[in-house]
């Protein structure tokens, strides 16, 4: 998934952020800065990062010169973008710009670390639906910028039967039978060997092994023996993802990529022209 600034959810998020921050106007800037003053803003990385969301600057400013694209690896001191604009506009939209860039680049940076951690294993890292409400599309784009494969976007675009579905449906077989008419591949979470055997017997396309240790996961993957794709989830962190990858699943998903990413440090210096 590329950073598509034309996506309606992206535009809506930017508009909402501006409305939240500015409302009737930036009273401090309007009182202190001449209306006709032109200025230049320089967005600069203050630490190593994988940048994401820089394309949003083209929605926020008319004259944004992007020095990099989402997914680029930067070191401290690298320029991200230069913007020429009325000084008042730069000051008024500075914080919104930085909030997006720092948050999304934080997600991309953590995503890239996960991808690097499993390098050479053939395992694909997936993100999850554990995103900031209202920012899912942006955070999924940021994950992809870091090299992660996007999992389902929401409840509407993929079948994923989880333990609560199984319990309320009356078992693995009942839950799977009720989803066959949807015409989509079925992924199902299994927590016991009995559930796994039922899922395989019913033709699950992918099984989700949840909250197992790497050793337990490896044992179940040997039992599955390529009869279905395997995804590992639950308790996956940057510290243990390599151990899970060495169990040889097809996919590993981690909610921490979005829910626990730390914002990176980006500076926006504004100078009069």
Radius of gyration of the chain (CA): 22
Contact 126, 150 (CB under 8 A): yes
Whether 210 is a known active-site residue: answer: yes
Whether 75 is a known active-site residue: answer: no
**Domain at 8-115+261-272, CATH class:** alpha beta
CATH of 119-259, one of 3.20.20.70, 1.10.8.60, 3.30.930.10, 3.10.20.90: 3.20.20.70
Nearest to 249 by CA among 210, 218, 211, 213: 218
Looking at residue 2, its pLDDT comes to: 77
Nearest to 54 by CA among 5, 114, 17, 117: 5
What phi and psi, each to the nearest 5 degrees, are found at residue 231?
A: -120, 135
Interval 197-230: pLDDT, tens: 999 999 999 999 999 999 999 999 999 999 999 9
* C-alpha pair distances (Å), 81 with each of 18, 92, 110, 247: 20, 17, 22, 42
Tally the C-alpha atoms within 13 A of residue 246's C-alpha that lie toward its C-beta. Answer: 8
- CA dist., res. 184 & res. 181, Å (int): 8
Among residues 42, 46, 67, 95, which one is catalytic? 95
Residue 40: enclosing H or E segment and its boundaries?
A: strand 38-45
- CA dist., res. 240 & res. 71, Å (int): 24
Looking at residue 1, its pLDDT comes to: 63
Interval 85-94: pLDDT, tens: 999 999 999 9
Among residues 189, 198, 220, 231, which one is catalytic? 189
**Structure tokens given for 99:** 């909030």
CA angle (141, 142, 148) in 5-degree steps: 85
Contact 63, 57 (CB under 8 A): no
Listed by start position, the domains of the chain span 8-115+261-272, 119-259
Residues in the chain, how many?
Answer: 273
Among residues 42, 113, 162, 191, which one is catalytic? 162
pLDDT per residue, tens digit, the chain (273 aa), is 678 999 999 999 999 999 999 999 999 999 999 999 999 999 999 999 999 999 999 999 999 999 999 999 999 999 999 999 999 999 999 999 999 999 999 999 999 999 999 999 999 999 999 999 999 999 999 999 999 999 999 999 999 999 999 999 999 999 999 999 999 999 999 999 999 999 999 999 999 999 999 999 999 999 999 999 999 999 999 999 999 999 999 999 999 999 999 999 999 999 999
Residue 92's CB is within 10 A of a number of other CB atoms, namely 21
At 249, is the secondary structure helix, strand, or coil?
coil
Sheet containing 159-161, strands listed edge to edge, beginning at the edge strand earlier in sequence: 124-126, 251-253, 229-233, 206-210, 186-190, 159-161
Whether 189 is a known active-site residue: answer: yes
Is 163 exposed, middle or buried (CB count within 10 Å of its CB: 0-12, 13-18, 19+)?
middle
Tokens 């504004």 -> residue: 270
Helix, strand and coil in the chain, % to nearest 5: 40, 20, 35
Give me the DSSP letters along 101-169.
HHHHHHHHHHHHHHHHHTTTS-PEEE--S---TT-HHHHHHHHHHTTPBP--SSTTS-EEE-HHHHHHH
Whether 162 is a known active-site residue: answer: yes
């Amino acid at each position: 998934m590329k950073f598509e600034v034309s996506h309606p959810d992206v535009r809506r998020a930017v508009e909402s952020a501006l409305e939240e921050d500015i409302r009737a106007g930036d009273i401090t800037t309007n009182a202190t800065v001449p209306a006709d003053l032109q200025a230049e803003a320089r967005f600069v990385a203050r630490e190593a990062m994988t940048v994401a969301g820089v394309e949003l600057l083209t929605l926020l400013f008319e004259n944004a010169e992007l020095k990099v694209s989402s997914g680029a690896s930067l070191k401290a001191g690298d320029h991200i973008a230069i913007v020429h604009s009325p000084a008042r506009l730069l000051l008024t939209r500075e914080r919104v710009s930085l909030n997006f860039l720092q948050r999304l680049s934080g997600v991309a940076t953590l995503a890239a670390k996960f991808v690097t951690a499993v390098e050479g294993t053939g395992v694909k890292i997936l993100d999850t639906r554990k995103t900031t409400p209202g920012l899912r599309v942006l955070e999924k784009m940021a994950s992809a910028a870091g090299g992660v494969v996007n999992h389902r976007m929401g409840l509407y675009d993929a079948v994923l039967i989880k333990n609560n579905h199984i319990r309320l449906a009356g078992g693995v077989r009942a839950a799977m039978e009720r989803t066959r008419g949807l015409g989509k591949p079925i992924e199902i979470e299994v927590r016991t060997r009995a559930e796994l055997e039922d899922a395989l017997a019913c033709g699950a396309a992918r099984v989700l092994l949840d909250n197992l240790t790497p050793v337990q996961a490896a044992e179940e993957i040997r039992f599955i023996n390529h009869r279905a794709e395997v995804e590992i989830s639950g308790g996956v962190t940057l510290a243990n993802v390599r151990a899970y990858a060495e169990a040889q699943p097809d996919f590993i998903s981690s909610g921490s990529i979005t829910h626990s990413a730390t914002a990176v440090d980006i500076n926006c210096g504004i100078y009069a022209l």
